[in-house]
Amino acid sequence: MRARPGRPRPGTGAAGGLTGAAHRIIRLNYGFQLLFNLLWWMPVFYAYQKEAGLSDGQIFGIQSIYYVAFCLLEIPTGLIADRIGTRNCLRAGAVVMTAANLAPVVSASYAGFLLHFLAIAAGRSLTSGAASAYLYDGLRAERCEEHYLRAEGTARALGLAAKVACWPLVGPLTALAHPAPYVLSAASAAGSLVCALLLPRLAGAEAGADTGRGDGGRRGGAFLRDAGTALRCVASSPWLALVMVQGVAVFTLSRICQVNLFQPILLDHGIGEASHGGVLAAMTVAEAVASARPQWISRRLPPVAWVSVLSLALAGTLAAMTLGGPWVVVVLLCLFAAATGFAFPVQRKLVNDAIPAHAPRATLLSVESIVDRAVCALAAIAAGAYLSAGHLDALLWHSALATAVLLGGFQLLLRSGAVARDGREPRAGGRSGRAGAGGTASAAGEGAPGLANAGDVDGKEALEPDRAARGPRTT
């Protein structure tokens, strides 16, 4: 029987299986993610603040305030995204990020850096859930949702590749013009605004949201109602809550190491500031390759198990850094980055698949981000205290032990019948067992659909545009 002409079925259409609109969404998402997250100041911000006269306690105190601010802003911004549209939230976030990166140029002081990170918290909270929700809903609207995983991973890989190219230049550029890293970061954020302005209006919920009539609006719900819906969704889905908690280890370890402890670790091993950009570039290469090639992960383990294994690998790598010399530490940092690259796309896919189809997706992704950043806020305070006391090695060992304890508790919960069945059997777990994309089985205890399908293509967890990633996070 001949197929009727009309709208392409999933996996058909232009651009190697994508419709024209889906192809445009993915390409602009690439540009937005690359430019929005291209923070030129990352390799030198610790030394930059030290030169400005800030102490370790002040530097890590600002980081803790940043994470707390992020937590406080996540729910309101997630609700805003579900109400006014994720596309508009991305635009607002790009504007705020542009201004945030200029704050240290205006005032290189404690107040200036505090304002800088508070504004970054606002900008990133506006986009953290909205970017993923826009991409997921946009591809679903085009019936190309099977491409989401690859598209997400590729976007991350491209962003990391851009950092590889740019970060080694930070040292020379800073020597030429001291505030150059912050000015260039502002210019990059302005470029992400251009991409956000070019993003197409989505059909369905997004289109309604753009006119103030999003999903929540059409059902007559206000901000508080959307928040209640999101919290009830988490409370009624043990699997969704469990997957969110599992991601805490990956996010906290990667964020604290790659952002807060990266420079102190190198300095402690005698690696000077001039080499920090190159080391960070090498780490970024490792992470980018892993993000773009998650199919290298064996499918003998389900995705949820891989996140736990990779979390333990991160913890073990941190502990091992206390035992080696400079070159060993550089290699371990690169291995740490590679494990992070594998873990993030898988974790993001697990969470997205666990979210019910009609739930406020951006708000729920913000809930996940709140959990992650709340733990990071506590970790940043602890890191500052450890470093002020000169106990960096103890900090790394204790971080590894805390991760092992967290994952041990997670595995105990996972082994309980109720939670495991909720993940494996969509009908039993309440609607959280199915992906919001409409039918992709949740990558839970068995998890085979999510990861196995992704493994059939180049970028299982990655976020590329071309072939389907049948088969996951954000400062």
Q: How far apart are CA 405 and CA 409, in angstroms?
A: 6
Give me the phi and psi of 51, to 5 degrees please.
-65, -30
From the CB of residue 274, how many other CB atoms can be counted at a distance below 10 Å? 10
- State the DSSP code for 443: -
Q: How far apart are CA 427 and CA 148, in angstroms?
A: 23
Q: Are 130 and 73 in contact (CB under 8 A)?
A: no
The pLDDT, as a whole number, for residue 224 is 65
Q: Residues for the chain: how many in total? A: 475
The pLDDT, as a whole number, for residue 32 is 93
CATH-assigned architecture of domain 16-455 = Up-down Bundle (1.20)
Residues near 172 by beta carbon (within 8 Å), at least 6 away in sequence: none
Q: Are 347 and 299 in contact (CB under 8 A)?
A: no
Three-class secondary structure of residue 409 per DSSP = helix
Nearest of 333, 200, 213 to residue 266 by alpha carbon: 333
Alpha helix segments (H runs only) across 355-462: 361-388, 392-414, 417-424, 448-455
Calculate helix-pair angle for 326-354, 448-455, nearest 10 degrees.
120
Q: Are 462 and 148 in contact (CB under 8 A)?
A: no
Nearest of 125, 126, 147 to residue 135 by alpha carbon: 147
Concatenated DSSP letters for 218-276?
HTT--HHHHHHHHHHHHHH-HHHHHHHHHHHHHHHHHHIIIIIIHHHHHHHTT--GGGH
Residue-range domain boundaries for the chain = 16-455
Q: Look up residue 336 and give its two tokens.
A: 């740490």
Q: Look up residue 121 and give its two tokens.
A: 């918290």
- State the DSSP code for 42: T
Q: How far apart are CA 184 and CA 169, in angstroms?
A: 11
The pLDDT, as a whole number, for residue 110 is 92
| Tens-level pLDDT at each residue, the chain (475 residues) | 444 444 444 444 444 577 888 888 899 999 999 999 999 998 888 888 988 888 888 888 898 898 888 778 766 766 676 677 788 889 999 999 999 999 999 988 999 999 999 999 899 888 877 888 888 888 888 888 788 878 887 887 788 788 888 888 888 888 888 889 999 999 999 999 999 999 888 765 444 454 444 444 444 355 566 667 777 777 777 778 788 888 888 888 888 887 778 888 888 888 777 677 778 888 878 887 887 776 667 677 787 888 888 888 888 898 888 887 888 889 999 999 888 888 887 888 888 788 777 777 767 777 777 778 778 878 888 888 888 788 888 888 988 888 888 888 877 777 765 554 444 433 333 333 333 333 333 333 333 333 333 333 233 333 333 333 333 333 4
CA dihedral sign, ordered 274, 275, 280, 281: positive
The pLDDT, as a whole number, for residue 156 is 76
Q: Look up residue 137 and give its two tokens.
A: 């809903």
CA dihedral sign, ordered 239, 335, 61, 162: negative
Q: How far apart are the first and last CA of the chain?
A: 52
- State the DSSP code for 29: H
The pLDDT, as a whole number, for residue 5 is 43
Cα dihedral angle (228, 234, 236, 239), rounded to 10 degrees? 170
Q: How far apart are CA 87 and CA 85, in angstroms?
A: 5
